[in-house]
Each structure stands twice: as C-alpha cells, then as structure tokens.
Amino acid sequence: MKRRAFITLLGGAAAAWPITASGQQGERMRRIGVLTPFAANDAEGQARLTAFAQGLHHWGWVVGQNIRIEYRWGDGKADTMRKYATELVALAPDVILASSSAAAAPLLEATRTVPIVFAGVGDPVAAGYVESQARPGGNATGFAVYEYPMGGKWLELLKEVAAHVTRAVVLRDSTIAAGPGQLGAVQAVAPSVGVEVRPVDLRDAGEIERAVTAFAQSPNGGLVVFGSPGATIHRDLIVTLAAKHRLPATYSARYFATTGGLISYGPDFLDQFRRAAGYVDRILKGEKPADLPVQAPTKYELVINLKTAKALGLEVPPTLLGGAAVALPLAARAQQTGNVGNGGPLHGAAICIFGCSSLAQLGHDPALWNGSGSGRAQPGRVYACFARRLIPCLEAIEQLYGHVEKTTIFN
C-alpha cells in the first residue's frame, strides 16, 4: 500500500464519517470483544475506541441492533491484562479488538482460535503474533504502527528543533518487540547528529522519574520517547518531567504534543482504529485473519507545540515551519461549517489554516482566503480559512493532498 501523509487540523472540526448500511438487518446479534490497556477514563483510550465505533457504524454495525461490544479497560499491568484477556475469550466473541501489544500478547496466550484484530502494535512479526505481514497465518491480524527507521527520525527532529542538545535519554519499553530495532536506528543516527544516547526502560513511574531527574543534572540534554503502552499510560508524568527539567523532547504520537510535549511525529492512531473496524467487518462476514495482511500506517502526523518551544527558549526552525506545514492556533477552534466555495482546489505546497492571529509571529505572509475567492491557491503560499467560513478540512484536504506531509503547529 502506498504510504502518504496529509494535513489535518488540531482543535478543528472532526471529519464527517458517512454511515454505510451494508445489509446486516435481520442477522443474528454478533459479539465483539475489546481489550485495551487504558483506564476507562483515559481520554486517548476513549478516542481510539470511539474511532473504532465510528468505523463499525460506517460498515453498518450498530450496538444494540446487530452487535454487542464487551469492553475490558486495563491499567497497563501484565497481570490485569491477562485476567481480562481470559475473561473475554471465555465469552466466546466472534472477534476481539486488541488495542496495542499490551492487549495482543495476553489475548494470543489465551486463544489461538478466536479471531483477533490488533491496532497500535509495533512489530507483530518479531512479537510472534503473525507469521508474516503479508500472510499472518494464524488467528490474528491488524495494523502495525512503526517502522524501525522512525527511531532515527525522532532523534533527528530533536536535534533540528533543539540544536544545543548533545545528550539524549531514550525512554523505551525493552519488552516490546519493536524496541531493539528502533533503538538501533537511533544509535545509527546519533553520531551524525552529534548526540550521545542512553536507553532507559519504562518499567514504572518511579523509575522514569528517577532516571529523568538524574539525567537532567547535566546540561544540553533531551528526551526521545518511544511509542509503547507504558509511555502512553505515563505520558502526563513524562511531559511534566520534561517541562520541569526544561528538557526538549520528541514523542511518537500527537497526544503527547497536545498535552504539553514539544514535538511529536508518528502515525495517526485514530485512523488505525477506524481501519481496524473494516477488518472486524470482514471477519464478521466470513473472512479469516490468516488471509488478511497486516497493514502499515498510511497517515503520519508531525505536531509542534509552540507554547512549549517558547517556554524552553527554542525557535522552531523555518525548515519545520515552512513548506508543507499547517499553523493552527488553539484559539481558532471552530465548528465544521461552510464549504470550499469557488476558490478551486488547493494544490502544490499550498496550506490551509484555521485562523491567522499567530501567522505574523510565525514569519508567514499569508494570503487571506475566506472560502469565497475566485482564484486557485498557489504552490508555496499559506492560505487562511476564517473560522466563520470553514471548509470540512479533514475530508477535503485528505482528498486533495496525497503527497504533503502533515504538520500541525499550535500555540
């Protein structure tokens, strides 16, 4: 599958997901299990499963009409996850959604017959979940999130946004199968960017705090936070420690940057869970996990928190602000209203922005466009859509930009 990145809008309207009934009326009630390491009140966990439910609705599966969903919310601890995995398997569901490797591993220990669709898993082949990505060969398939070179990209971004960094702690979960490959990518890149790296395991909150506090005693340090269930569960602590010790940090997912982290780069997790619903739909209609190839990410997100950059005394370089970048002040939150107007399609390197209050300080010279202009957008220019006349950007930009990397900048 061709990979592509696209522009979306942080704090803007959500995409309108069409509901496509596919003739399930009259069929027997099907049961879906869901196992997630997130607590029930965790916002990211809720967002992922909401995306999954939206995806099911898209395919005509409606809770209470033709499906029943059994949820098990965890705490990230192995014992808890094994307990809930056993409970779900005992219910004999038609299929189970596994949110991350923290859920996939105990489920595959509990059953090799119940179909499992995973999302947010690092390296399912190395972990033993599937025989190969093209031919999973067992009772599990799904959506992988990282390729090993991503680790090197995180370190390069850290150096690009914080040139003074010469030392970096890599917070990782050594039990994750993708961990060694990602660490190897970081270590391979480190000499070329002049950064000495030190891996630290994400075992528990106490170890994270002790390691980061000790590391911060010397100058010119930074953090690279690998994606893992442990990093997600402890994300508030990690972001708080980075701010407390004034450590520039790069992260694997947007929810780190939106809660105070400096910069993140990684796949669109919500998209993975929407797509996972498509695999669940196919399994409910008779297909086998063994015949459904593991899918790689198709959408990547680069998110920069300008408020955090300012607090750290950092200037985000033009290489990250220019080109394919979206500037999005949080103050420009708005509803999804309005339409594209007759301005024609945006193309080339043109950018669509909500609001323009912060464009001057970003160094841009935007052409203000309120959705009713008559000309086409020009490559290399920045265009602002006023909040009162918004286009449905999530859908429209995804359709128009198959080749532009997504960057969200907010302050």
Residues 332/333/337/343 CA torsion (nearest 10 deg):
30
Quick one: pLDDT at residue 404?
Answer: 34
Provide the pLDDT confidence category of residue 284 given band limits of 50, 70 and 90: very high
pLDDT digits (tens, 9 = 90+) for 139-152: 999 999 877 778 88
Q: Worst-scoring range by mean pLDDT, 48-52, 82-86, 226-230, 283-287?
A: 226-230
Judge whether residue 396 has pLDDT over 60. Answer: no
The mean pLDDT of the chain is 76
**Residue 208, amino acid:** I
Contact, 268 vs 300, CB < 8 A?
Answer: yes
Query: Which domains does the chain carry?
Result: 30-145+270-298 (3.40.50.2300), 150-251 (3.40.50.2300), 321-410 (no CATH)
Most confident option among 122-131, 273-282, 400-409? 273-282
Q: Worst-scoring range by mean pLDDT, 290-304, 317-331, 352-366?
A: 352-366
Quick one: pLDDT at residue 11?
Answer: 31
Residue with tokens 């971004």: 157
Contact, 111 vs 129, CB < 8 A?
Answer: no
Most confident option among 71-80, 161-170, 174-183, 366-375? 161-170
Provide the pLDDT confidence category of residue 122 given band limits of 50, 70 and 90: confident
Q: Which run of H or E residues covers position 409? A: strand 406-410
Quick one: pLDDT at residue 357?
Answer: 30
Judge whether residue 60 has pLDDT over 70. Answer: yes
Judge whether residue 128 has pLDDT over 80. Answer: yes
Provide the pLDDT confidence category of residue 30 given band limits of 50, 70 and 90: very high
How many angstroms separate the CA atoms of 215 and 271, rounded? 35
How many angstroms separate the CA atoms of 407 and 302, rounded? 5
Judge whether residue 364 has pLDDT over 80. Answer: no
Regarding predicted confidence, which is higher, 372 or 26? 26
How many angstroms separate the CA atoms of 129 and 140, rounded? 7
How many angstroms separate the CA atoms of 308 and 411, rounded? 8
